[in-house]
Amino acid sequence: MPDFSRSELLKKFLWSVRPQIFIFTGMMVIFGLVYLLGRLPLDFFLYSMEVSFFLFGIYVAIQYIQYARRYGKVRRLQTTDIATLQELSESPDPFDRLYIEKLALVMRDQREAETAYADRQTNQLDYFTLWLHQIKTPISAISLLNQSSCGKEARQISQELLRLEDYTHMALNYVKLEEPGAELDLSQVDLDGVIKKALKKYSILFIYNGIKLEYEPLQMTVLSDEKWLQNLLEQVISNSLKYTPNGKISIYKDSVKEGRLVIEDTGIGIRPEDLPKIFNKGYSGFNGRLYEKSTGLGLFLSRKICERLGYKLDIQSELGKGTKVLIDLSREELQVFD
């Protein structure tokens, strides 16, 4: 029995047969009193005791072997292992057979319910993914139509379109991150190139809101999946822009720890009591509820992406003074197995 010790099994067995042991001990005491009160020869009593212990020992040994087999099967039993459960139903005890039959029905119902739930979840996910891809078409069409316009309203429409695209991409990333089989395309990535793509995407928000950008080429190369790394940086920069009504956003290398990227803003900051919960899914915090801009998914997705890429994400913030996002891009050497 590899998954449990013999001593553990023996203790459990002795506990299960304790009524038989008590009855056998009581019978031996009664036999002893009968021999004693009847003044029968002691040899007969000793002989009867030897025979009784021998037969009881055979009975206990057979019970132990059956118990050990059944115990091992139950320990290895899985929720969908109906075949093993049917083997257990061969017990001669009618109560055991009835109990196992009822358990098999419950397990079968549970398996059917799990299958139905998984099918429903898959169908909903497929529909949601299809809708997210289809919504991109009208967004692109509106964007093209808006390019022919000018003035303040056109700039405002461009900003709202950018936010709409962000929310759509956020939902798509959430769906992809929830898929356990999603693979990474790891390679040496030029960090400056990814940062510039993210900044170009949000350039209209920098210009329209008058946000100053402090960024010098970092000249860093990191092992990463370029697509997911860009999604991560876009999410962090979008968050900084969202909660920085005016001021500046700085992107630089951390002087304390090598390989750590810092994205710092001079925005409204985060309350100390909100900091421990900002990575929870759906948690928007006081600022998110106050400004009604938060979905409660941004930082949750950022943490999930960092976990997928093998990075570490930390946030330092002070209310009214800004927020500093630290992304540790260093990672342990990958081990490749043939």
What confidence tens digit (pLDDT) does each residue in 212-225 have? Answer: 999 999 999 999 99
CA–CA separation, 195 and 191 (whole Å): 6
What is the tens place of the pLDDT at every residue in 162-194?
777 777 777 777 777 766 655 678 899 999 999
> Phi/psi zone of residue 227: left (φ > 0), alpha (ψ -120 to 50 degrees), beta?
alpha
251: helix, strand or coil: strand
- Find the mean pLDDT for residues 231-255: 91
Backbone angles phi, psi at 212, to 5 degrees: -80, 140
DSSP labels, 4-33 = S-HHHHHHHHHHHTHHHHHHHHHHHHHHHH
- Find the mean pLDDT for residues 243-268: 91
HSE, side-chain direction, 13 A CA sphere, residue 224: 26
Would you say 325 and 311 are in contact if contact means Cβ atoms under 8 Å apart? no
Is a pLDDT exceeding 80 seen at residue 128? no
- In this prediction, residue 252 has a pLDDT band, given cuts at 50, 70 and 90, of very high
CA–CA separation, 174 and 305 (whole Å): 10
Report in angstroms the alpha-carbon separations of 176 from 168, 173, 304, 329.
12, 5, 11, 22
Q: Which amino acid is at 190?
A: D
CA–CA separation, 177 and 308 (whole Å): 8
250: helix, strand or coil: strand
Is residue 227 exposed (0-12), middle (13-18) or buried (19+ Cβ within 10 Å)?
middle
HSE, side-chain direction, 13 A CA sphere, residue 158: 20
Q: What pLDDT was estimated at residue 246?
A: 85
Would you say 325 and 277 are in contact if contact means Cβ atoms under 8 Å apart? no
Q: What pLDDT was estimated at residue 265?
A: 94
Percent of the chain whose predicted confidence (pLDDT) is above 90: 21
> Phi/psi zone of residue 252: left (φ > 0), alpha (ψ -120 to 50 degrees), beta?
beta
Q: Which pair of structure tokens corresponds to residue 13?
A: 């067995």
Q: What pLDDT was estimated at residue 176?
A: 76
Q: What is the pTM (predicted TM-score) of this model?
A: 0.60
| Higher-confidence position of 85 and 146 | 146
With CA atoms as reference, report the closest residue to 270 among 237, 303, 244, 251.
244
- Find the mean pLDDT for residues 281-304: 69
311: helix, strand or coil: coil
CA–CA separation, 248 and 319 (whole Å): 16
281-289 CB contacts, 8 Å cutoff, 24+ apart: 287/243
Q: Which pair of structure tokens corresponds to residue 313?
A: 């994400």
Would you say 211 and 204 are in contact if contact means Cβ atoms under 8 Å apart? no
Sign, CA dihedral 32-38-42-43, equals negative
With CA atoms as reference, report the closest residue to 21 among 48, 60, 55.
60
Residue whose tokens read 């709409």:
164
